[in-house]
Structure 1
């Protein structure tokens, strides 16, 4: 599922911008299809323009009828009446999809015989101190079995004496959900921790859901600004 809004706050209409001969949303859709990992790929949108673009190049869409606070809510509406087991959320503004990382997310569910995992997501090691302190990079800490313990915009854990060896991890917002976990998210109200940090993954933790984190070396290139779009064009050229 690729949630796709037209009115992005920082870069309205970005999904319909040209990225070396094709729109951003088309690049993302085709990249998801080309992984050959999914039974179906859909763009979930509330926009006539995006729907026309996707159906125009032969893609599949699900129309989102309601206003939503986040992409997970939009996906919950889309899958409510679909016969699916696992739903993967791929952001519409990330056309450089890493197949290996998505395959690792799906493997979590194939290996989860007791079905204790509600959702899985990705993390990548941070090396630079400015990346660790940047509040735009959501950090995640896990237990010994790689289940998420907490997410924060603050560097966690706090380096009290700067001597203990510690690798900091950035949360990459690509999720694979069991369908019921996605529906539960949509039906449960936001609690104080999520409201404070403005990180939707925290809602799952606050309600006791189990999030399995998968380490990857993948470096995402999300297109949030016109400058990001230009970087993406240059990367595709190279």
Structure 2
């Protein structure tokens, strides 16, 4: 007794005013704006019914339309990308599930986006889905507060996200990796609409991690292990690094 298949979209939030890298979405990498590379990767997805770029800036909006993307203008006043996402979805009443794809990951694996969409479509009890990379417990990243870790229940649902080492290995446990959280999310529309009405929660404020607001309010978040470690672009130096990867891929397809 299945109902109609859920309508699933991808949204790439792209804002101009990054403090570390203003105008980042339009930074040219191998001759194309950064956000266009992400959009082209996501066009390879098979589980998305549609794909949009949500922006607060006319320049990004115009660029998106020029390379054929559907673009949605949103307010520049949003405190977080999730609020921008929720505003964009208001103009799309047909949508059931939204995959929020970082607009600064030009090497994102389309298969991961499809996996998140499929996980949400397959289990109506999920409010959200996200991804994580397995790390060796001895990897220095485990101790780095800029690297967010996640631990899961036996069924793969998130128990906690933290900047601290997680879990703390009082005892060695064979085969138990540490998971580095990867910032890509799928949301059920009904949950996203509730989420943005809640005030920042105590643990969210302590760790400065928005996903803790979802957990503190009882959300069910599936965490998919992935080996997609595609780097994000936060600085011009990282843009140059990604350009060298893309250039080598283009010359050795």
Aligned residue number for residue 106 of structure 1: 117
Corresponding position of 1:44: 54
- In structure 1, the partner of 2:102 is 91
User: 1:208 maps to which residue?
Assistant: 218
- Aligned-pair CA distance for 1:129: 2.3
Measured in 2, the distance between the counterparts of 1:2 and 1:206 equals: 26
Q: Is the 8 A contact 1:80 1:183 kept in 2?
A: no
**Aligned length in residues:** 235
Q: Is the 8 A contact 2:131 2:182 kept in 1?
A: yes
Q: Which deviations, in whole Å up to 9, do the C-alpha atoms of 1:137-180 show, x marking residues without a partner?
A: 1100000000000000001111224x333310011011111001
Give unpaired runs (5+ residues) of structure 1: none
Structure-1 separation of matches of 2:147 and 2:119: 24
Task: Give the secondary structure class of the aligned counterpart of 1:58.
Answer: coil
Compute the RMSD of aligned alpha carbons: 1.2
Task: State whether residues 3 and 71 of structure 1, in contact with CA within 8 Å, keep that contact through their aligned partners in structure 2.
Answer: yes
CA 1:237–1:81: 2 relative to 1, 3 Å: closer
Alignment of 1:111-130 (within 5 A): 111-112=122-123, 115-127=124-136, 128-130=138-140
TM-score by structure 1 length?
Answer: 0.95
Given that 1:89 and 1:174 are in contact with CA atoms closer than 8 Å, whether structure 2 keeps it comes out as: yes
Question: How far does residue 182 in structure 1 lie from its aligned partner after superposition?
Answer: 1.0
Bigger mean CA offset, 119-128 vs 222-231: 119-128
Which residue pairs with 1:225 in the alignment? 235
Task: Please say which of residues 209-218 and 26-35 is displaced more in the overlay.
Answer: 26-35
**Aligned-pair CA distance for 1:230:** 0.7
Q: Distance in 2 between matches of 1:51 and 1:36?
A: 25
Write the distance in 2 (CA, Å) between the matches of 1:107 and 1:57.
28
Counterpart residue number, 2:8: none
2: CA distance, partners of 1:143 / 1:157: 12
Deviation string 1:80-102 (CA, Å, 9 cap, x unpaired) is 24210100001111111212211
TM-score (norm 2): 0.89
After superposition, where does 1:44-193 map in structure 2 within 5 Å?
44-82=54-92, 83-112=94-123, 115-127=124-136, 128-161=138-171, 163-165=172-174, 166-193=176-203
Deviations 1:17-39 (A, max 9, x none): 11101110111112111223311
Partner SS state of residue 187, structure 1:
coil
Deviation at 1:66, TM superposition (A): 4.6
- What residue in structure 2 maps to residue 20 of structure 1? 30
Structure 2 segments unaligned to the other structure (5+ residues): 1-10, 249-253
Preserved CA contact (<8 Å) 1:141 1:149: yes
CA 1:178/1:121 → structure 2, altered by over 3 Å: closer, same or farther?
Answer: same
Kindly provide the CA deviation profile for residues 62-89 of structure 1, in whole angstroms up to 9, marking residues without a partner as x. Answer: 1102511211111011112421010000
